[in-house]
Structure 1
Amino acid sequence: MSHDPSAATALSFGDRLDAVFSARGPLCVGIDPHAWLLTDWGLPDSAAGAESFGRTVVEACAGQAGIVKPQVAFYERFGSAGYAALERVLADARAAGLLVIADVKRGDLGTSAEAYGQAWLSGGSPLEVDAITVNAYMGVGSLAAVIGQAERESKGLFLLAATSNPEAEAIQQAVVAGGGQAGLTVAGAIFQDVAARNAEHPAHTIGSLGVVLGATLDLAAFGVDLAVAPARAITPILAPGFGHQGAKVADVRNLYGGYAQGVIVSESRSVLSAGPRRIAETIARRVLEAGAARG
């Protein structure tokens, strides 16, 4: 599946994600050049090392996996040289026809939030990707400008809802006070808000606004009900926690219930630790496992 900017305007992000699911399955390979991984790979802990790492992962994914997720922090730590390296990794991913989700976790208000969207979602931007992760700590409404831009640009967003770090539990399980979502948990309120926005576009099988729901969590304890999904415009779920963190791909249906068909199976360390010589065969195996679990 080629990455043609003109085609992107004709298809929503959700439609393109659905096409990737059909062609390549739900596996998403993280591009996380940790310092220790660069050392294990025989690469310098530098922007050049991170670039070589990322481009090797992209090459290994091409023709096998359909989605990659670069963790921007591991490039940002090298300053401008790191961003230049990331731009080249992203260019390779676009050329390879991969769907790219930048793990940037941006969140802000008004024109500041809008500027983040312009950086990552604008067609022709050197940092252009297909979707980004965003933080709704100041309320989903604070992201209105970014949500609007994503819709105009046929791009996607994944809002943090229930993350796998234990420090988040108290906030994400807290009950919302006041307003139409009173009584819901924070995680549940974000999920319902996103699902309602996707329901405004019933013609699509998969919506373009998604949520991050960790695969290692008891999601019911976070107030997120996944038992029954809508017939169309299902909310996509970016699901970290598979592989190294302990979640098993075979359990996708048990973990995500009616939303299993919209789950992006995200794996990073369990794939990347295979090293540069074995990463392609590891990805091939994970693609088969994730595809079988999805059915």
Structure 2
Amino acid sequence: MSAGRPTFGERLSAATAEHGPLCVGIDPHPALLAAWGLTDDADGLRAFALTVVDALGGQVAALKPQAALFERHGSRGVAVLEDVVAAARAARTLTIVDAKRGDIGSTMQGYADAYLRDGSPLAGDALTVSPYLGFGSLAPAVEAAHATGRGLFVLCLTSNPEGADVQHATDTRGRSVAAEIAARAAELNAPAGAEGHLGSVGLVVGATVGDAASEHGVDLAAVNGPLLAPGVGAQGAGGAELAAVFGDARPAVLASSSRGVLAAGPDARALLAAARRAADDARAALGA
């Protein structure tokens, strides 16, 4: 790990203690751009994304730009994503780049270089990754994250209906795929756990998946890493849903809200007020 740099787990713990367990997604959907009176092009994208950073930088635990909604604008959109990462860093706000990368060998190494290497303009503080080519395929990302003090959020239990076909499937031992993913993340976090803080390899667990974790043997508390929970707010998850999904693992949850906050824009004060309400709601729901 880079000398002198706290781990991602340590930085995230400090950020949530200061600002609450909330991550705000920067999801520039065409409908949101239109609602803000912006054009659905790179210029509108830039105005949208940087307004969010300006309004919420230094005020929330983390920001999570959705890479696909930047990439849809081509090279100019990717340049905006680079500027978002830089602006958030300047505002001393953690960024989780939501790119869900997953591949094998040299290709996964390329993704690791792009999103986790020091000096890369796309490298935030953490990256979402997909383990569905086998958890071992993530090795280049795991190594890069460890070397640079960055974090990973591994897709585990997602809220899309199709996800259950793979995530709930069981092997010859009767263990679900999701349970295996959680166990492998826990192994990577075990040394950090011995030091009394969360590790830097977290999971993505949808806040609307109900009792899927308990039903399929996924021990979320044992992961000892942050649990990114999309679906809070506009997608319907509140305190009861978070309790049902995460149980004893709730202290590790980082609730993620996008539309519930972004719909308050483009006024910066309204965005900040919406984010503070969402953070307060997450604190109450998680007992934080």
TM class by shorter chain equals over 0.9
TM-score by length of structure 2 reads 0.93
Alignment counterpart, residue 227 of structure 2, candidates 237, 252, 259: 237
1:130-169 map, 5 Å: 130-169=125-164
Conserved 8 A contact 2:239-2:284: no
When structure 1 is superposed on structure 2, of 56-65 and 114-123 the one drifting more is 56-65
CA deviation string 1:215-272 (max 9, x = no partner): 111222343134xx35xx7221111111111110465344312211111100011111
Alignment counterpart, residue 223 of structure 1, candidates 213, 217, 237: 217
When structure 1 is superposed on structure 2, of 193-202 and 141-150 the one drifting more is 193-202
SS of the aligned residue for 1:238 comes to strand
CA deviation string 1:19-52 (max 9, x = no partner): 1111111100000000010000001101111111
C-alpha change, 1:249 and 1:29, in structure 2 (3 Å) is: farther
Q: Does 1:58 align with 2:50?
A: no
Structure 1 unmatched ranges of 5 or more: 1-5
The Cα shift of 1:204 comes to 4.4
Conserved 8 A contact 1:242-1:249: no
Whole-angstrom distance in 2 between the partners of 1:211 and 1:251: 17
Alignment counterpart, residue 187 of structure 1, candidates 165, 178, 184: 178
Query: Which amino acid letter does the alignment assign opposite residue 206 of structure 1?
Result: L
Residue in structure 1 matched with residue 102 of structure 2 by the alignment = 107
1:1-295 map, 5 Å: 9-177=4-172, 182-201=173-192, 202-217=194-209, 218-219=211-212, 220-226=214-220, 229-230=221-222, 234-249=224-239, 251-277=241-267, 278-294=270-286, 295=288
Whole-angstrom distance in 1 between the partners of 2:117 and 2:174: 37
Whole-angstrom distance in 2 between the partners of 1:13 and 1:155: 5
Query: Which amino acid letter does the alignment assign opposite residue 215 of structure 2?
Result: A
TM-score by length of structure 1 reads 0.91
Whole-angstrom distance in 1 between the partners of 2:237 and 2:216: 17
Structure 2 unmatched ranges of 5 or more: none
Q: Give RMSD over aligned pairs.
A: 1.8
Whole-angstrom distance in 1 between the partners of 2:216 and 2:206: 11
The Cα shift of 1:55 comes to 0.8
Identity %: 47
Conserved 8 A contact 1:176-1:189: no
Whole-angstrom distance in 1 between the partners of 2:72 and 2:239: 31
Whole-angstrom distance in 1 between the partners of 2:130 and 2:86: 25
Whole-angstrom distance in 1 between the partners of 2:41 and 2:272: 23
Whole-angstrom distance in 1 between the partners of 2:36 and 2:239: 26
